[in-house]
């Protein structure tokens, strides 16, 4: 049966049908970008997992290939789970991935290209040495919590390092292995890092960053460089990262502030975004992030629909000048899909008003808007107890009037506003500064009772006295990917409107607050359809 097309995307990466989850082993080879992904060839729910494979010359348009890795030997007969690629000396890609063996143990395998002169890397040979890493009675690794090898890095001592996600009791672990030849791996005594109370660490990612937008290849160490450790928490399906220092002599990672295990942790995305992975793009000198946007439909519904899961638009990422967080921005190539540009002159958006952004296809659009707020001193006081931004966004949803805000965008909105997704800001007066909250409110996104309508939110490190408050949203039928403060906070939502579909979808700038705000800039575009698979 062919999948229901209503909510399929026009420029986000999807296979033609069936289940997709984690992005795997992204890389660039001989000028061609590769994306592998967790895929079920037989249905729209999770299972029978293989590495499906597509390639692209521009990260926008993709062609499909045969599955790169699928169950074929003892060491992966029950599934080919997530993993990463590493470019070995001589420009030789290598995949490390988790195989599920006949006893359903999680073990780590190696695969290398059959033919290095094929830029599409369509065929992969599994190592006769598989598995390279496995749980034993001596290493005491938990055989059902040992998966998702990272891209490896080479230290000055000439040995490769890789980390594997794991847990012991409720402590999340980044188990470290070392190897001289990429085949024989020895487990280090200590994990690279661990944290109590987090549960299983899935899909860890570990890489160097600097405040330059130029990215760093994974083995680079040195002055001015920080490291990022990201983990995906199986218990909550949220990802957290910290910024810190990698001590390559002691082989440990030390976060600068806080840790993964407290809930003030940093996230790439405060909405639906999971099992993400970065890679270094040596062609354009940048680090790129891929992440899976998981479903907001319940399982029987997405099975009925015939497809499930989308990849977020790849994001260029770097270290913010504060060195306290990352900044992310959709790859510049996505702008080649922009068409029908609409610009507004500077416009006052009065309290309690809304203005339609017309002239573009509102269900398939890219919009950038900036606000200036003249009367900051009028801001409501921030209550000391309002520490959780997501809770605050749910309590003060898009319909709750404040002094400054909510103001922002109503997207995928039906004409009479029976349905809308609201992405907006509120400004509060904190102890010694203004505090900006960014929310994505899905509570009215659909009349369909069955979809997950959780509201998301984040505080965002912008100073509204000195800089305009900017918001960019990528809208693609059932996806709203929003970037606040030039990429300082990102929120991705998965929505299933029943009325605001296709030409019936509208886009508005709105201000439900008491005070006026100024729209200092607004540019919006229809997005053309990309050629995807």
Q: Which residues are catalytic?
A: 22
Tokens of 84: 């990463």
CB of 82 vs ligand DQQ, minimal distance in Å? 4
Find the binding residues for ligand DQQ in span 236-275 (CB under 6 A): 275
How crowded is the C-beta side of 20, counted as CA atoms within 13 Å?
Answer: 23
Residue choice 19, 39, 62, 81 for contact with ligand DQQ (CB under 6 A): 81
CB of 201 vs ligand DQQ, minimal distance in Å? 9
Distance CA 391, CA 438 (A): 12
**Residue 359 neighbours by CB under 8 Å, 6+ apart:** 340, 342, 524
Q: Are 312 and 293 in contact (CB under 8 A)?
A: yes
Which residue is at the shortest CB distance from ligand DQQ?
Answer: 81
Q: Are 422 and 532 in contact (CB under 8 A)?
A: no
Q: Are 392 and 372 in contact (CB under 8 A)?
A: no
Query: Helices marked H in 214-253 — which ranges?
Result: none
Distance CA 350, CA 359 (A): 22
Binding residues for ligand DQQ, rule CB under 6 A, total: 12
167 binds ligand DQQ (CB under 6 A): no
Whole-number Cα distances in Å, 354 to 180, 431, 463, 512: 62, 31, 25, 8
Binding string to ligand DQQ for residues 434 to 473, with x set by CB under 6 A, is what? ----------------------------------------
Residue choice 17, 53, 147, 277 for contact with ligand DQQ (CB under 6 A): 147
369 binds ligand DQQ (CB under 6 A): no
Binding string to ligand DQQ for residues 189 to 228, with x set by CB under 6 A, is what? -------------xx-------------------------
Choice between 84 and 445, CB closer to ligand DQQ? 84
Choice between 78 and 361, CB closer to ligand DQQ? 78
Choice between 14 and 98, CB closer to ligand DQQ? 98
Choice between 49 and 59, CB closer to ligand DQQ? 49
CB of 79 vs ligand DQQ, minimal distance in Å? 7
Residue 6: closest CA among 442, 412, 452: 412
Residue 229: closest CA among 211, 246, 248, 210: 246
21 binds ligand DQQ (CB under 6 A): yes
Find the binding residues for ligand DQQ in span 274-303 (CB under 6 A): 275
Choice between 244 and 291, CB closer to ligand DQQ? 291
Residue choice 14, 18, 38, 414 for contact with ligand DQQ (CB under 6 A): 38
Distance CA 136, CA 147 (A): 15
Find the binding residues for ligand DQQ in span 42-61 (CB under 6 A): 49
Q: From the CA atom positions of the chain, what is the Rg in Å?
A: 23
Q: Are 28 and 287 in contact (CB under 8 A)?
A: no
Residue choice 148, 205, 419, 515 for contact with ligand DQQ (CB under 6 A): 148
Distance CA 164, CA 98 (A): 9
CB of 238 vs ligand DQQ, minimal distance in Å? 12
Choice between 226 and 494, CB closer to ligand DQQ? 494
Q: Are 203 and 82 in contact (CB under 8 A)?
A: yes
Distance CA 225, CA 208 (A): 6
Choice between 91 and 235, CB closer to ligand DQQ? 235
Regarding beta strands 18-29 and 307-308, do their DSSP bridges make them parallel or antiparallel, or are they unpaired? Answer: parallel
Angle at 390 between CA 384 and CA 394, to 5 degrees: 95
Q: Are 209 and 287 in contact (CB under 8 A)?
A: yes
User: What letter would DSSP give residue 376?
Assistant: G
Residue 4: closest CA among 480, 533, 478: 478
CB of 106 vs ligand DQQ, minimal distance in Å? 8
Query: Helices marked H in 115-159 — which ranges?
Result: none
Residue choice 7, 11, 12, 22 for contact with ligand DQQ (CB under 6 A): 22
Regarding beta strands 50-56 and 32-39, do their DSSP bridges make them parallel or antiparallel, or are they unpaired? Answer: antiparallel
CB of 484 vs ligand DQQ, minimal distance in Å? 26
CB of 229 vs ligand DQQ, minimal distance in Å? 16
CB of 526 vs ligand DQQ, minimal distance in Å? 33
36 binds ligand DQQ (CB under 6 A): no
Choice between 26 and 484, CB closer to ligand DQQ? 26
CB of 91 vs ligand DQQ, minimal distance in Å? 27
Choice between 82 and 458, CB closer to ligand DQQ? 82
98 binds ligand DQQ (CB under 6 A): yes
User: What letter would DSSP give residue 4?
Assistant: P
Q: Which residues bind ligand DQQ (CB under 6 A)?
A: 21-22, 38, 49, 81-82, 98, 147-148, 202-203, 275
């Amino acid at each position: 049966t062919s999948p229901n097309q209503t909510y399929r995307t026009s420029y986000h990466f999807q296979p033609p049908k069936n289940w997709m989850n984690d992005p795997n082993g992204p890389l660039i080879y001989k000028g061609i970008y590769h994306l592998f992904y967790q895929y079920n060839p037989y249905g729209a729910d999770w299972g029978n997992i293989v590495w499906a494979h597509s390639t692209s010359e521009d990260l926008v348009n993709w062609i499909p290939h045969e599955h790169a890795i699928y169950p074929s030997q003892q060491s992966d007969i029950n599934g080919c789970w997530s993993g990463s690629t590493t470019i070995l000396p001589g420009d030789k890609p290598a995949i490390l991935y988790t195989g599920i063996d006949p006893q359903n143990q999680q073990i780590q395998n190696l695969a290398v290209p059959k033919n290095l002169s094929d830029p599409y890397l369509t065929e992969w040979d599994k190592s006769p040495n598989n598995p390279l890493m496995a749980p034993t009675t001596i290493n005491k690794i938990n055989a059902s919590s040992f998966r998702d090898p990272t891209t490896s890095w080479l230290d000055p001592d000439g040995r490769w390092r890789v980390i594997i996600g794991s847990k012991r009791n409720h402590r999340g672990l980044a188990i470290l292995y070392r190897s001289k030849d990429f085949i024989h791996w020895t487990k280090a005594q200590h994990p690279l890092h661990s944290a109590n109370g987090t549960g299983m660490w899935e899909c860890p990612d570990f890489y160097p960053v600097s405040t330059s937008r130029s990215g760093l290849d994974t083995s680079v160490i040195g002055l001015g460089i920080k490291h990022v450790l990201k983990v995906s928490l199986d218990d909550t399906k949220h990802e957290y990262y910290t910024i810190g220092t990698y001590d390559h002599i002691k082989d440990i990672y030390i976060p600068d502030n806080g840790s993964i295990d407290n809930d003030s942790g940093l996230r790439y995305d405060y909405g639906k975004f999971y099992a993400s992975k970065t890679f270094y793009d040596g062609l354009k000198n940048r680090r790129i992030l891929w992440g899976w946007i998981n479903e907001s439909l319940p399982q029987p519904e997405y099975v009925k629909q015939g497809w499930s899961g989308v990849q977020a638009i790849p994001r260029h990422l770097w270290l913010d000048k504060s060195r306290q967080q990352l900044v992310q921005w959709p790859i510049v190539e996505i702008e080649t899909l922009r068409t029908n540009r609409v610009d507004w002159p500077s416009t006052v958006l009065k309290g309690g008003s809304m203005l339609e952004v017309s002239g573009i296809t509102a269900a398939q659009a890219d919009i950038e808007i900036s606000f200036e707020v003249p009367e900051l001193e009028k801001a409501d006081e921030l209550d000391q107890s309002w520490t959780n931004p997501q809770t605050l966004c749910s309590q003060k949803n898009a319909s709750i009037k404040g002094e400054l805000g909510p103001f922002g965008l109503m997207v995928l909105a039906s004409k009479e506003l029976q349905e809308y997704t609201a992405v907006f800001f509120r400004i509060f007066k904190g102890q010694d500064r203004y505090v900006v909250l960014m929310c994505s409110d899905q509570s009215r996104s659909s009349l369909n009772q069955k979809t997950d309508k959780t509201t998301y939110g984040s505080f965002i490190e912008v100073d509204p006295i000195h800089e305009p408050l900017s918001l960019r949203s990528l809208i693609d039928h059932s996806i709203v990917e929003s970037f606040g403060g030039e990429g300082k906070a990102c929120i991705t939502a998965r929505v299933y409107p029943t009325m605001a579909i296709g030409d019936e979808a509208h886009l508005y700038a709105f201000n439900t607050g008491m005070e006026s705000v100024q729209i200092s800039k607004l540019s919006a575009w229809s997005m053309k359809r990309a050629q995807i698979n």
